[in-house]
Structures are given as structure tokens and as C-alpha cells.
Structure 1
Amino acid sequence: MTNHIDFQKIVDQALSGILLLDQNRKIVYYNQTSLQLFNCEPEKLKDLKDFLHPDYHEVCSQRLNRVFSFHETAEAMEQKLVTYTKEIIDVEIKAIPYDLSDKTLALIYIRDITKQKLAEKLLSHNDKLASIGQISAGIAHEVRNPLTAVKGFTQLLKEQVEHNYLETIESELDKALSTLNNLLQVSKPDLIDEARVPIRLCQELDSIVFMFQERLYNIEIHTDFKDRQQVFMGKKNILVKAFFNLIKNAIEAIEGEGKITIKHFVKDQVVHIVISDTGVGMKKEEIRLVGTPFFSSKPDGTGMGLTQVFTTVQQHQGEVHIDSVKGKGTCFYIMLPIL
């Protein structure tokens, strides 16, 4: 072991951002991790308040007052920061008193927990889907059996009696049974034993867009496909169905003229597919329910299409994120890891 230990280098390479604040809340010391966390140059890192999310200004001020006035430790607390480039990140912040000569400073530790929060959110959503799936599968089985029997007797009646109502009854029964079958597929995806095959997703997206050409006389579709030759190992049929559902929803969300943009690119061994539209959009409370069976923002929708999307992406160990503004449009971000 060498006699000289470079403590500055150790601190700079720490996983947490480390700051020292004086009594005026000004930053008098920072490590390199802090600069990376705030995504700014050294001359811009002067006041922590400049980077705190407005929702946490008051609580942060109260915590620092206790550090300086009562020499107390402010235990780790989840907060949000706004980087210099205006990106909002989740962090965990801890502050402890630090005596330097005759002054008390606040030693701040900041840990980026954005990925952790995202993973927790995804796990929570998956748990909800699993619970809903178990209930839905049971209901679907119980309802499908008597409906199948009714359909059978309806077909027998048609052979003996001619009546227009019988055609209507059979048609409506077919719709109900189709909905139940879709529900079973998304609630019990393991029932679909589809093998994974090499897929060029750009090629499949091109084909789906072509299928909708006759409906696009007042809608412009713009595609931006990079990494076209990338091969993805996946369950082709359900993936194609998922992207069909997303593009169909985007088209149906546009009232009158509008634009749909579809992007494809690969980054860090993850396939990114972004589908955005200039449609009616959704409220925040609606976004939280997206992917739940039978929830739909459309008057005649069943919600099964987006449930299938979430289930399919989950089967491929991927993630779905949604940005939407009521009256302006919606953007779906699909991330599929290349396993």
C-alpha cells in the first residue's frame, strides 16, 4: 500500500453527490458526482435552491434550519431535483452538521434513485396487472361457458326458425365471446405458448402502417427508423398485435386532421419505439389507469388493446411509459431489452 492516499479522488468518484453548504445556503464545496447529477458546469453550481424542485423548497429550508440551529441530522428523505437541463430526477437527500473551525456547515449527501423509483413503479404496475389478471381469468371462464352454450342453442334455433333477431343475437354473442377470449389472453399470457423468433421490428412497423393507409387521408404519419437491421428475439404475433393496437389507438385519438410520429432506434442494447400522436390526449388520472382491462377513454372502447400492449411488453422484460396532455396528444415509449 502506498503512503499517499488521494482522498479527493475517492470523494470525487463516490456514488453520491456530496456538497457543503454555508449558513447562507451557498455551495462551498462539491464533488464531481454532484456536477454529473446536476448536469452542469462548476460555475453554475452555486445555490442548491436553484436545483431543488419547487415542491420541496419549504421542507428543505426547515431541515437545513435544524441542521444549523440545533446541530441535528436531517435523515435521508426522498425529494426531486431539477437539473440544469431541466430534467426532473428523483433523489434521496441527507444532511448532517459539519464543524469547520468555528463554523457549522451542512454536509449534504445526494443519491440518485430515479432508476430505483422507476423499477418500483414498474413492479407495482406488474403486480396490479397480475392481480387483475387472476380475477379476470376466473370471471372470463365462468361467463364464457354459458355464453358458448347460448350461442350453440342459437345456431340450432336458426336451423329450425327464421327470424332476424337470431342473426343479431348471434352477432352480439360473437362480440362478447371475442372480448372474453381477449381478456383470457392478456390475463393468462402463459396460455399463448409462442416461440421467440428473430424479428426486424422496423419491417413489421412498416407493414402495420401500410395496413392503415386507406384510413390516413387526413392523418400524416411520419416514420423515423434508425438501426433498421437490428434483429430482436421475440414473440412475433403478439408483438405485431401490440404495435397494431398502439397505432390504431393513435389514429382513433385524432379528430379530423393530425399527425402520428413513429420512431425506432437502439441505445445501450435496448430497442426504443416511440409512437406519438396529436390526438385528444388524456388527463393524469386517466394515464394511471391505462393498461387496466375495461378502462378506455373512448366511449365504445374496452381497454383490452392497451392491456395486451402492457402484457406483451412485460413478457419481453420491457417497459412502457406514457406522456399525455389533454387536448394536445399522447406519446407511448416502448423499451425492449435485447436479451
Structure 2
Amino acid sequence: MKLKIQSIDIDFHQIVENSLNAIWILGTEGEILYFNKACMKLLKLTSPEDILSKKLYTFLPPDIHAPCKERLIKVIETQAILESIEAKMIRSDGEVIDVEVRTVPYHLKGKVYAQVIMQDITQRKIAEKLLNDREKLASLGQTAASIVHEVKNPLTSVKGFLQLLKESQSHSYLDTMESELEKALETLQNLLLVSKPNLHDEPFVSIALGKELESLLFLFQEKLCNMKVELNVRDAERTVVGKRSLLLKAFFNLIKNAIEAIPDKGMIEIEHYYENGWVHIKVRDTGVGIAEDKVKLLGTPFFTTKSDGTGLGVTQVFTTINEHGGGVSVQSVVGEGTIFHIRLPAE
């Protein structure tokens, strides 16, 4: 369709085709009748055939198929303009993204279809989560630091008197008590470090994480003998600015957790790439997975899914990444495995 305004021919098809928002025209069964270039980009598709032969529901998580179908029918049957909603979509590579969706009727040759306009809001959701995580971690850090000081002081006194007691008399029980007391004090010290990361005086330097990951994997050689490991490093020259030891410790903890999550044989995949100003690192494992209600608690001090763990390793990961202006997201399915997705601002 063309419209003439002030002697300028306006081709609306070009406007829609080159829109920054993804636009679909759908039939009553969710069949895709039209899509623009932004739609291909949104779903990371390379060929039109990848989308024309499918229905909308191919790109949606199963749990939202029913409500989306209801919205589709409502628009076509009542010609109502629906309010914008937030939803999830599945890209061709399996990545789940957040989108804002607006659905309106589309009239063509006496028939009514549904016009779906989508905007990728993944980065906005990441930013919102990052702010929430920082507030949560700051509050937890203050509480944890206070508890550590209150508990550490009397334990230190106990340790001193225990050493005096050992000088006057020897007993194996006293050695055991001292050993266990040392473990308790070490745990408290670790908690203090992760709750107050700024206590580290380490300078900020340029770090090429892509080149560091291979060195970290080398440290786990003995434990990886029964596992398949894939290291996919793209954009290795990209750097981030940060405290090198802290960041390497965070990725050490992630790899260690991935290994420990696999009871026997399995696979660990580590991916590094650059996108939209961020360095991304994904650590995937085919381990036991984590229940959905527990994923939200990851990063909380002393929360752990391991029988002999303290949870401080994962807390250190969340705290360190947030201190460096990044973010952590976790996807996990019980019995299938877990993906930790780290984002850090590129230098």
C-alpha cells in the first residue's frame, strides 16, 4: 500500500519490513503468514523457510501456549486491541529471551488476522535483575558481616584458652576440638570476604577471560578424566576490567560446581563470546540439576544443594560478578543439568 503525502510516495510495506520491532501476521491456528526482517533477527533465524513452515507455538515455552492461543482467538473474533504483555520466546539456538508483546487485529480482503508486534526486552530485564541482586547482596552482606564479627570474637577467645589448655595437658580430643574450631573460623572468614568484597585491595586490571579459561580447566585435569569437556572461545581478544584473582576464583568455583554436579560421566561446556558491549561466559553441565524453587536462592550465603557444602562458593560468584558491574542468570532442569550465564561489561 502506498500513500502520497506532500508529493512523497510512502510505501508502508518498506516501513514494516525495516521496523526495529519484530512483526508477525498470524492466522487463527497460530500459523505464520508474514514476518519482517526484525523477526528473523529476534529469533536468530537464517532462512525464511525456518519460520514459514511453522506455527507461533514453535517459538514459545509450552506453559504459555494456552494463554497465547486465547489472546489470538480474542483478537481475531472480537477485533479487540489487547494490552501489551511480557512473555518468553525461544530462539533457534535454544536461548530463552524476554519480549514485550502487543496484539492488534489486521484486516485483509474481508478477513481478520492477528498482528503481533514484539520488542526484545532481555537487556532491560537483565538490568532490572542486576539492580535487585545488588540490593539483595548489599543487605545480605551487611547482615553477614555483623554476624561474623559477633561470632568470631568469642570463638577466637575459645581458641586462645584451648591452646593454653593444650600446653598444660595433652589429649587427642583437644586436637580434634582445635581442628574443628579452625574450620569454623575459616568458614566465618570466607563469609566475611564474600559479604564484603571491597575488603580486597587487589587492583583493577585488563583481563582476557577467554584466554584464562583454558588455564583454569587445566587445574581440574584429574577430575575431568571421565567427562567430556568442550571449550568454545570466540572473541578471545575481548577484555574486561576487574580484579583478576577474584574473577578467576569465581570461574574456578563455577567449574568446580559443574564437575561436582555430575555424579558419574557427563559433559561440561564452557562458552565465551562478545555481544552488545558485554562479554558472556556460559558454563553448562549435564549434572543433577536444581529445582526451580531453589534456583532463586542461589547466591544466598549458606544455601546449598550439596550435603557437605556451605554455599559460599556460589555466593562468591554472585558477589564478585555484581561488584564488577555484571550479572548472573541460572537455568536448570532437574535430571538434565544447569547453565550459569555470566555477563561482564567489556572494556
TM-score (normalizing by structure 2): 0.80
Check if 1:240 corresponds to 2:248: yes
Q: CA offsets per residue over residues 24-80 of structure 1, 9 Å max, x none?
A: 876665544344445461771786556555433433344344444544321112233
Residue 33 of structure 1 corresponds to which residue in structure 2?
A: 38
CA shift in 2, pair 1:150/1:5, >3 Å? farther
Residue 171 of structure 1 corresponds to which residue in structure 2?
A: 179
Pairing partner for 2:18 from 13, 16, 28: 13
**How far did residue 202 of structure 1 move?**
4.8
Q: CA offsets per residue over residues 79-103 of structure 1, 9 Å max, x none?
A: 3344566654332222334666866
Pairing partner for 2:332 from 301, 310, 324: 324
Pairing partner for 2:52 from 44, 54, 67: 44
For 1:138 and 1:208, the matched residues in 2 are separated by: 34
CA shift in 2, pair 1:142/1:108, >3 Å? same
Question: 1:96-245 counterparts in 2 under 5 A?
Answer: 96-97=104-105, 106-202=114-210, 204-219=212-227, 221-228=229-236, 230-245=238-253
Q: CA offsets per residue over residues 133-192 of structure 1, 9 Å max, x none?
A: 222222112111111121122222222232222222221121111111111111122222
**How far did residue 307 of structure 1 move?**
0.5
Residue 314 of structure 1 corresponds to which residue in structure 2?
A: 322
For 2:57 and 2:221, the matched residues in 1 are separated by: 52
Q: Secondary structure at the match of 2:318?
A: helix
For 2:267 and 2:117, the matched residues in 1 are separated by: 45
2:191 maps to a residue whose letter is L
TM-score (normalizing by structure 1): 0.82
For 2:40 and 2:192, the matched residues in 1 are separated by: 50
CA shift in 2, pair 1:66/1:188, >3 Å? same
Matched residue count: 339
Over the aligned positions, Cα root-mean-square deviation in angstroms equals 3.4
Instruction: Return 202-211 or 113-122, whichever deviates more.
Output: 202-211
Pairing partner for 2:258 from 250, 262, 286: 250
For 1:239 and 1:271, the matched residues in 2 are separated by: 13
For 1:228 and 1:244, the matched residues in 2 are separated by: 18
Q: Secondary structure at the match of 1:292?
A: coil
Instruction: Return 280-289 or 150-159, whichever deviates more.
Output: 280-289
Q: Secondary structure at the match of 1:286?
A: helix
Check if 1:288 corresponds to 2:296: yes
> Contact 2:280–2:344 (CA<8 Å) still a contact in 1?
yes
Residue 8 of structure 2 corresponds to which residue in structure 1?
A: 4
Q: Secondary structure at the match of 2:305?
A: coil
Residue 276 of structure 1 corresponds to which residue in structure 2?
A: 284
Identity of aligned residues (%): 47
For 1:336 and 1:21, the matched residues in 2 are separated by: 38
For 2:228 and 2:27, the matched residues in 1 are separated by: 56
Instruction: Return 43-52 or 272-281, whichever deviates more.
Output: 43-52
> Contact 2:33–2:52 (CA<8 Å) still a contact in 1?
no
Instruction: Return 139-148 or 252-261, whichever deviates more.
Output: 252-261
Q: Secondary structure at the match of 1:150?
A: helix
For 2:236 and 2:298, the matched residues in 1 are separated by: 29
Residue 346 of structure 2 corresponds to which residue in structure 1?
A: 338
5+ residue gaps, structure 2: none
Instruction: Return 137-146 or 33-42, whichever deviates more.
Output: 33-42
For 1:203 and 1:85, the matched residues in 2 are separated by: 25
For 2:333 and 2:21, the matched residues in 1 are separated by: 34
CA shift in 2, pair 1:268/1:154, >3 Å? same
**How far did residue 305 of structure 1 move?**
0.5
Pairing partner for 1:80 from 49, 63, 88: 88
5+ residue gaps, structure 1: none
